[in-house]
Every structure is written in C-alpha cells, then in structure tokens.
Amino acid sequence: MSVALGETRPLPVRTTPVGDPGDLLAALPGIAPYAWIRNGEGLVGWGEAARAAVPPGPGRFAWAREWLAGVLGDAQVDDAVRHPGSGPVAFGSFTFDEDAHGSVLVVPRAVLVRRDGQAWLTTIGDAPLETSSPIGHPGRISYGDGSLTAPEWERVVARAARRIREGELEKVVLARDLVAVAEHPIDVRLLLARLARRYPECYTFSVAGMVGATPELLIRRTGQEIESLVLAGTTPRGSSQADDVARGAALLASAKDRHEHECAIASVRETLAPLCSSLTTPDEPELLTLPNVQHLASHVTGRLADGASVLDVVAAMHPTAAVGGTPTKTAIEVIRELEGMDRAGYAGPVGWIDAHGDGEWGIALRSGVVDGRRARLFAGCGIMGDSDPASELAEAQAKFRVMQYALEG
C-alpha cells in the first residue's frame, strides 16, 4: 500500500462545480490516465494521491473496502456538489481470479466529472496539476499468438464442450489472448478516444493499464438503488440490414444462447436477492446491438436492504455466470485447468467508488493490458455442450476487433 501524501495525515480534498468541460477525455494528460465514460458522461482522473496493491485471496474485496474506508473516510473534504462521484473517488481493477496478483485501487489527484447536466472537478492537495499534451500514435501494429494458437484454443473448446455434455457442468466461459506490438509507445488516450467514439453505448475505461470498452455493467449503486446489465448470448453483426435482422432473430430464438442467458440471469438473481429488499429481473431478454456484435441483454434492478457499498455488491456478484460459468465453482476450476493463461484483469471488475459507497463497476470485457509498445488483448466465449469450436473462435475474433480498431483506427 502507498499513500502519496503521507499515511499520517488525511487527504485534503476539494470539489467545485465547473462549466461544461466538453470532451472529458481531451482533458487527460499523457501519464496514467483513468477513465469511466459512456455517451460522453462519466469520470476521468489523473495523478496519484493514494494507491494500493490489493492482496490476492478470498478476502480481497473486504481488504479493499477497509483500505478505502481508511483513506477516503479520513479525508478532509470540502464538497460543494454532494452528488455520487463528488468528493474523493477511487478507480479500481480486480483480477478475474481471486488468487492472482494484480488487483489495484487508485485515488487520483484530480477527477473531472460530467453527469446529468452538471460538471465538477475534485482535486487533492495543492500541487499544480498536470496539463494535457499531444496524443501520440502507435504506428504500425503487428500481432502474434498469445498463450494458445487458434487451433490449440479450438481443441480446448472441444474438451470443455465434451465435459459439459458428460454432465460435469452446464456452461464455462473460455477466453483467449492476442499480443499486439506497436512501432511506438501506445498512448492510452488515443485508445480511449477511439473506443468512446465507436462504442458510445459501452463503458470506456482505463485503470492502471487495463483499457477497454465493456458493454456489461456489473453493478451501479446510487444511494440504496442498484442496477445491473446482464449480457450472455452473442452473434456477429450481419453483412446487410436484412442479414443483421435475421441474425438478431436467430439469436433470440437460439436454444443454446437462451439457455446461456438464463444461466447468467439465475446467477445474478441468486447473488443479489440476499442483499436486496426488492429485486426485479425481466422475463425475456432484449437485443443489445453494438457496432460489431449483438447480445442478449437483461436489465436487473433492485434496492439494497442493509446499506452495502457498491464494492460489497461487486464482491458478492463476481464472478458471474456470464464470465465464469455454471455452476461457478466448477467452471472456475475448469477455466484454471483448460484455459492455459492468466486472465489478469480481463473479465474482472473494473470501475469507481466514492466515499459514500456509490459507484459503477463493469466487467472488463473487450479490453487489453497496455504496457509501453505492447498490448495484450482478450476475448471470451460462453461454451455450452453443443458449442462448435470453429464458431466460438469466430466469435472471439469478432470481439478482438474492438481493441484492434482502438489500436489501428
């Protein structure tokens, strides 16, 4: 754990209203940008007032909440806004596997927010803030196999499908990675700008090198109200409007995809029900259409019963069936056995939390880890007993195109 302003004195925090900042991403300096943007609204941050490397293990979310309570709870706050996301805010990225290292929480030194017709700036400390600099371009991009080649991954899918048919589990989500190497250092701000422009309905995020645009909202907490968007079941976009409509209709009618979606909804319902005084899940999924794929989607809403923070709900929900499988414990064991790679933050929780426990957390899908000139891209597919390895590989390749577009433009 580190606290840049000293662990013995509280963080001095000031939040003030500001005029419309326009493009939030344009305000980011080049070093360590943080972001959570959807449809032009959200939060961006930069600098580092406090940072924690969260220890792995089953108690990691409880550890994170305790650390946040100490850092944010003791802050000396002058907040003229008093809305969710004002005052001190922490951005976080947690690894998919609880036993993996790499989970992190960061309290930026500056956070600029625009939401619901208002905008404000939160600063910590009195030092001058960094200014924005020209965005760099990565140049030529070359790609190479990640942990497994495409044929190797297809064989893993076939093995998983066979184990599902044999009754060991109902569903498992298998991911693969792709390595991209750029001619020049990769400027995260360029990726964010491209993702936000191309996928405005997604949550474009950046936390400690984890960058992406996820369509899946794990949880939003505003006061006692919570909301989750469950996605499971996917098809690529069509080559024409008629083909696109036909693909969407086929997805809605697909027994395999509907069952996969029902598993995901059941997992969320089972997890949230003990935390909520009321919970609503839809009877039928709807289609969520993105530039590259269509998903089966369901909005889940509820009201918390005991005042749990958003991080408590994240702890209860992760991993969902949508990114792990059903039953979850068995699926995680199968993933560890078959997948052949460390997912890092891919399919793990990513988002933000304020000092009052409000916040928004997504699942880090359509994402990659950026480090200098190198980026490790991720994509995953829900595997059922009748899954076809070639079709699942094509789905993964379609999902890779999100981050490939961000790199190449």
How far apart are the C-alpha atoms of 224 and 226, rounded to whole Å? 7
How far apart are the C-alpha atoms of 43 and 34, rounded to whole Å? 8
Cis peptide upstream of residue 88 (ω within 30 degrees of 0)? no
Structure tokens at 124: 């910590």
Q: Annotated active-site positions, please?
A: 171, 216
H helices present in 104-212, as ranges: 150-165, 188-198
Give DSSP secondary structure letters for 259-301.
HHHHHHHHHHHHHHGGGEEEEE--SS-EEEE-SSEEEEEEEEE
Q: Would you give the distance in Å from CA 174 to the centre of its chain? A: 17
CA angle centred on 119, ends 118 and 120, rounded to 5°: 135
How far apart are the C-alpha atoms of 91 and 89, rounded to whole Å? 7
H helices present in 25-179, as ranges: 60-73, 150-165
